[in-house]
């Protein structure tokens, strides 16, 4: 079996862990989209596709996938010093208070739930070392502990992120359910390309240019009417 | 990239110039400038100064007890393969400013990235300001910049970096560039802020989107650290309301994380970005920006 083929046990876990029903509260975060809608930057399916595609390629999407890939390899090789560096970098990369909340609250909730159910020794170590735990790093470590290969894990994680932002848009733009799913279908090649590029990226390759999305998350903190925590 | 073999450099240079492989390999600029400030009878004084190669520092006379180190690149710009290093150490309790003599220009290269590495070490109770002028990245330029800042205890910091793509006032557009600008801030050894701007390829196209640059050609990051820093968030936001916004074309946001104030700015060009930053920095710090900003 190719190292990137996921077995049925691994597939079940991935489907469960990245399901919108998994209790990390994903539905409460919009990644700053709620402000982009308020500001008139995102008004329909077309402008949402451009915004989200840029966030995937030039923003947290790409950087999170590099963090995932490096955290997976570090956990799989029991490289705890490497894992510590990745965990700290993942946290420090958060550009605003709400984006740090989005990354760390979901990471903590994910790790708490997995530890009390399937169990994950490397997640135990990260929590006991009192290290910050952003969401992609937590999922990567759980995948490594359970033998779920990185590319399926990264694809599932990035796809769940994109679907969550689209779901936020369906509620806040508003956007039709079918339009939302059409957009998710169109983003498939973007997700595949970002995962492919990130798989062998180094920590030095993290970074991007989603500056307006970062500013949107900052301005969201003072938005008068809010459905979302980011 | 900065360790290309001479043959590879010649080959790329020839390709870039569309000329045969006889194109000479350009002399690359190297430089180091490091200064340390110390506290003597409650006053900040120059401690050590090291200057080598194209990097220099000047210390104009100041009247407010806050020395200013003015960094200078005598090579007159940066191109592929250049290697510039700056360091400023602020001993505990000192107060000083570091800035640059002029806008740094990153010119079209034949190969490799120009590397600029700056390290600031700020002791307990010191007040450090890193207020360089803008960096202008020209078409087909390559920049690999590192800003590493170590804060101890109650150290205070105000730091800004501005990047402008081309001479925006002349309508230049940067279609091919490689600009990587990294910030890493540690407090008592712990990483509290990491940011990497990465523009590789068609910078104007990358920055066209509403999630990226919304069409901006100039951008800045601003960080303020120290006891009570987070408590000044509303003040900073009010300054952005006053000096950024639709009339200026500048879009700015601010937040507070891990004992830091962090802000980002996007602007249509270098001039509106600089005008906004001068007003915000002067009001926020209660002091003028370094005089060289107005030369």
CB pair distance less than 8 Å for B266 and A36: no
Residue B12: the pLDDT is 41
Q: Of B212, B159, B162, which Cα lies nearest the Cα of B184?
A: B159
Q: Of B253, B223, B244, which Cα lies nearest the Cα of B160?
A: B223
**Nearest by CB: B254 against A208, A211, A218:** A218
Angle between helices A8-17 and A150-172 (to 10 degrees): 30
Alpha helices by DSSP H, listed for chain B, are 6-17, 203-206, 233-243, 270-285
- Could you tell me the two tokens for B19? 């000329």
Residue A2: the pLDDT is 64
CB pair distance less than 8 Å for A212 and B214: yes
In a domain, B20, yes or no: no
CA dihedral B291, B115, B88, B198 (to 10 degrees): 80
In a domain, B61, yes or no: yes
CB pair distance less than 8 Å for A219 and B262: no
Tokens 């994680």 belong to which residue? A157
CB pair distance less than 8 Å for A96 and B257: yes
**Nearest by CB: A97 against B211, B257, B266:** B257
pLDDT tens-digit series, residues A19-76: 999 999 999 999 999 999 999 999 999 999 999 999 999 999 999 999 999 999 999 9
**Nearest by CB: B198 against A88, A94, A209:** A209
Residue A1: the pLDDT is 47
Q: Is B212 on the interface with A (CB under 8 A)?
A: yes
- Domain containing B61 equals 31-294
Residues of B whose CB is below 8 A from A210:
211-212
Q: Is B146 on the interface with A (CB under 8 A)?
A: no
Residue B23: the pLDDT is 46
- Could you tell me the two tokens for B20? 């045969």
3-state secondary structure of A50: helix
* Residue in B253, B261, B273 to test binding to A, most A beta-carbons within 10 Å: B253
Chain centre distance of CA A1: 27
Residue by residue, pLDDT tens for chain B (295 residues) are 344 443 343 334 434 444 444 444 567 899 999 999 999 999 999 999 999 999 999 999 998 989 999 999 999 999 999 999 999 999 999 999 999 999 999 999 988 999 999 999 999 999 999 999 999 999 999 999 999 999 999 999 999 999 999 988 888 889 899 999 999 999 999 999 999 999 999 999 999 999 999 999 999 999 999 999 999 999 999 999 999 998 999 999 999 999 999 999 999 999 999 999 999 999 999 999 999 999 7
**CA pseudo-torsion sign A33, A38, A41, A45:** positive
Cα(A153)–Cα(B113) distance, integer angstroms: 34
> How many folded domains does chain B comprise?
1
The alpha-carbon gap from A211 to the nearest alpha carbon of chain B, in Å, equals 5
Chain B, nearest residue to A101 by Cα: B257
- Could you tell me the two tokens for B40? 């003597």
Q: Of B93, B124, B94, B119, which Cα lies nearest the Cα of B32?
A: B119
Tokens 């059409």 belong to which residue? A182
In a domain, B26, yes or no: no
pLDDT tens-digit series, residues B179-234: 999 999 999 999 999 999 999 999 999 999 999 999 999 999 999 999 999 999 99
**Nearest by CB: A209 against B190, B199, B255:** B199
In a domain, B230, yes or no: yes
Is 1.10.4190.10 the CATH number for A29-215? yes
* Residue in A67, A202, A215, A217 to test binding to B, most B beta-carbons within 10 Å: A215
CB pair distance less than 8 Å for A92 and B182: no
Cα(B168)–Cα(B240) distance, integer angstroms: 22
CB pair distance less than 8 Å for B210 and A41: yes
pLDDT tens-digit series, residues B169-187: 888 889 899 999 999 999 9
pTM value is 0.94
| pLDDT higher than threshold 60 for residue A15 | yes
Between chain A and chain B, the number of residue pairs with CB atoms below 8 A apart is 114
Q: Is B210 on the interface with A (CB under 8 A)?
A: yes
């Amino acid at each position: 079996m190719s190292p990137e083929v996921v077995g049925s046990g691994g597939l079940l876990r991935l489907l469960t862990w990245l399901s919108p029903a998994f209790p990390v509260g994903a539905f409460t975060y919009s990644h700053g989209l709620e402000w982009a809608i308020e500001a008139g930057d995102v008004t329909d399916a077309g402008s949402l596709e451009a915004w989200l595609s840029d966030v995937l390629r030039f923003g947290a999407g790409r950087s999170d996938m590099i963090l995932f890939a490096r955290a997976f390899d570090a956990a799989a090789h029991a490289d705890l010093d490497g894992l510590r560096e990745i965990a700290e970098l993942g946290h420090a990369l958060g550009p605003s208070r709400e984006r740090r909340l989005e990354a760390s609250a979901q990471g903590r909730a994910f790790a708490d739930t997995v530890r009390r159910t399937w169990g994950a020794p490397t997640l135990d170590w990260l929590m006991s070392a009192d290290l910050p735990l952003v969401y992609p790093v937590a999922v990567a470590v759980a995948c490594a502990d359970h033998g779920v290969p990185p590319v399926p894990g990264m694809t599932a994680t990035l796809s769940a992120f994109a679907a969550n932002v689209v779901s936020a848009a369906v509620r806040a733009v508003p956007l039709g359910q079918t339009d939302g799913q059409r957009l998710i279908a169109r983003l498939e090649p973007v997700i595949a390309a970002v995962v492919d590029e990130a798989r062998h990226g180094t920590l030095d390759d993290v970074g991007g240019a989603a500056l307006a999305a970062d500013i949107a998350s900052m301005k969201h903190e003072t938005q008068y009417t809010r459905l979302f925590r980011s | 990239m900065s360790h290309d073999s001479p043959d590879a450099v010649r080959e790329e240079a020839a390709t870039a110039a569309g000329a045969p492989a006889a194109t000479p390999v350009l002399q690359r600029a190297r430089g180091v400038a490091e200064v340390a400030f110390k506290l003597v009878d409650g006053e900040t004084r120059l401690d050590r100064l090291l200057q080598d190669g194209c990097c220099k520092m000047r210390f104009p006379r100041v009247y407010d007890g806050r020395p200013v180190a003015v960094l200078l690149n005598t090579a007159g710009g940066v191109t592929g393969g250049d290697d510039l290093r700056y360091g400023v150490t602020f001993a505990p309790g000192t107060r000083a400013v570091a800035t640059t003599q002029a806008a740094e220009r990153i010119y079209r290269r034949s190969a490799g990235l120009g590397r600029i590495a700056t390290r600031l070490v700020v002791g307990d109770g010191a007040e450090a300001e890193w207020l360089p002028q803008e960096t202008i990245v020209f078409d087909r330029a390559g920049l690999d910049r590192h800003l590493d800042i170590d804060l101890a205890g109650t150290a205070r910091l105000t730091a800004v970096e501005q990047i402008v793509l081309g001479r925006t006032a002349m309508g230049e557009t940067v279609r091919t560039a490689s600009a990587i600008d990294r910030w890493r801030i540690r407090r008592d050894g712990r990483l509290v802020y990491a940011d990497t701007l990465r523009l590789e390829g068609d910078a104007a196209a990358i920055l066209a989107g509403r999630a990226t640059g919304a069409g901006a050609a100039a951008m800045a990051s601003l960080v303020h650290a120290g006891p009570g820093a987070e408590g000044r968030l509303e003040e900073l936001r009010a300054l952005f309301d006053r000096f950024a916004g639709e009339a200026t074309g500048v879009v700015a946001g601010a937040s507070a994380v891990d004992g830091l104030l962090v802000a980002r700015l996007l602007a249509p060009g270098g001039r509106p970005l600089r005008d906004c930053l001068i007003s915000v920095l002067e009001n926020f710090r209660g002091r003028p920006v370094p005089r060289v900003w107005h030369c």
